Structure 1
């Protein structure tokens, strides 16, 4: 699951919602810093109930729980497998990390489909994110992590300003965003022809969204 899939249910709890983004933010700004469930759970009582700090910590725990569930589901396995085959058929041999692409693109296209179906919630996501104080989030992360970071509070306003989640709805823009990821993780950049794979993947994810995010697990008011 990516940013919007993690956070879309919690727009009325901005700090909780921000917490659901923390592990993905850290993968961008400081990969040394990891969030661990047991450590976070042991810290919850040190913050007042309902405080911004506790809400951030609970949101991080929600993200970790969501990923533990999502990555073991049949829907995720089947769709990422089909996405991986699409990439393997289109790209040249083993130069590209096809399994990685199948995984990450499935998650990005889920966000794209959610924002297509619920555009007001994408706007609400960014509105809620603007209302938080980034230093609160960074303080929780530095309390919970074995390593600390001074990069997160700087990054959050840039994340809001950039609004790259909206780009996922357009395959050409998604291709460019995807190459930013590939560059960051030091993998081969993708050719522009990959856009047709993204278009095919978009149709696949739209048709399987209910299997990927079943109502008994993924629902909101």
Structure 2
């Protein structure tokens, strides 16, 4: 799951919703620093209720990922997308197809959530603006094995960039995927992949209810 998939049911609980974003924020600022479930669990009993709430959000992120990646819809789509991408990539680049297939499902699901609720993106970013970024960083430092000093800087930049809004456009989505490819040191995806994203988008749209079933319980 991606940012909105984790958070969209919890926007009335800002520090919990922010906690669901921490593992993904770490992928941006410190990929080797992991906010694992076992690190977050003790902090759910913290005396500061907002810190405890943030830790519960981190726990929810891991719970979400666990069930999401085991759904039949995710397995079906990510496998099919990997096959599609492998056929579209230049010779010798097929090794990245599985990774692209995996994250394409997650990013496109965020786009579908925005289609379903046109106010979702504004509500999400407004919620983040209400956070005390320094307090979020302090809470994260109780969970992460290595200290963070850039999360409080990242959060305003994350809000200002509004890059989740770009997921609605196939060309812009390919650019965002390439940002991920750069971070994990994989070759960039060619422009020839853009038309495929439109097909993949429709497949995720058709399977969205199945992908979201567990969060709707």
Q: 1:87 aligns with which of 85, 101, 124?
A: 85
1:32–1:147 contact (8 Å) kept in structure 2: no
Q: Which runs of 5+ in 1 are unaligned?
A: none
**In structure 1, C-alpha distance between the alignment counterparts of 2:204 and 2:85, rounded to whole Å:** 15
1:37–1:61 contact (8 Å) kept in structure 2: yes
Q: Secondary structure at the match of 1:10?
A: coil
2:43–2:51 contact (8 Å) kept in structure 1: no
Residue 32 of structure 1 deviates from its aligned partner by 2.5
Question: What is the CA deviation profile of residues 59-80 of structure 1, one whole-angstrom value per residue up to 9, with x for unaligned ones?
Answer: 1110011111111221110110
1:3–1:111 contact (8 Å) kept in structure 2: yes
Q: Secondary structure at the match of 2:8?
A: helix
Residue 47 of structure 1 deviates from its aligned partner by 2.2
How many residue pairs were aligned? 216
**In structure 1, C-alpha distance between the alignment counterparts of 2:140 and 2:150, rounded to whole Å:** 11
**In structure 1, C-alpha distance between the alignment counterparts of 2:109 and 2:92, rounded to whole Å:** 26
Q: Secondary structure at the match of 2:92?
A: coil
**In structure 2, C-alpha distance between the alignment counterparts of 1:219 and 1:127, rounded to whole Å:** 23
**In structure 2, C-alpha distance between the alignment counterparts of 1:141 and 1:164, rounded to whole Å:** 23
RMSD of aligned Cα (Å): 1.3
User: Once structures 1 and 2 are overlaid, which stretch shifts more, 204-213 or 97-106?
Assistant: 204-213
**In structure 2, C-alpha distance between the alignment counterparts of 1:47 and 1:60, rounded to whole Å:** 17
1:10 is matched with which residue? 10
Residue 123 of structure 1 deviates from its aligned partner by 1.1
**In structure 2, C-alpha distance between the alignment counterparts of 1:176 and 1:38, rounded to whole Å:** 34
Residue 44 of structure 1 deviates from its aligned partner by 2.0
2:149 is matched with which residue? 150
**In structure 2, C-alpha distance between the alignment counterparts of 1:94 and 1:112, rounded to whole Å:** 30
User: Once structures 1 and 2 are overlaid, which stretch shifts more, 158-167 or 24-33?
Assistant: 24-33
**In structure 2, C-alpha distance between the alignment counterparts of 1:100 and 1:94, rounded to whole Å:** 15
By relative contact order (CA 8 Å, sep 6+), the higher-ranking structure is 1
Residue 192 of structure 1 deviates from its aligned partner by 0.8
Residue 219 of structure 1 deviates from its aligned partner by 2.3
Q: Secondary structure at the match of 2:188?
A: coil
**In structure 1, C-alpha distance between the alignment counterparts of 2:118 and 2:47, rounded to whole Å:** 34
TM-score normalised over the length of structure 1: 0.94
2:179 is matched with which residue? 180
Q: Secondary structure at the match of 1:35?
A: coil
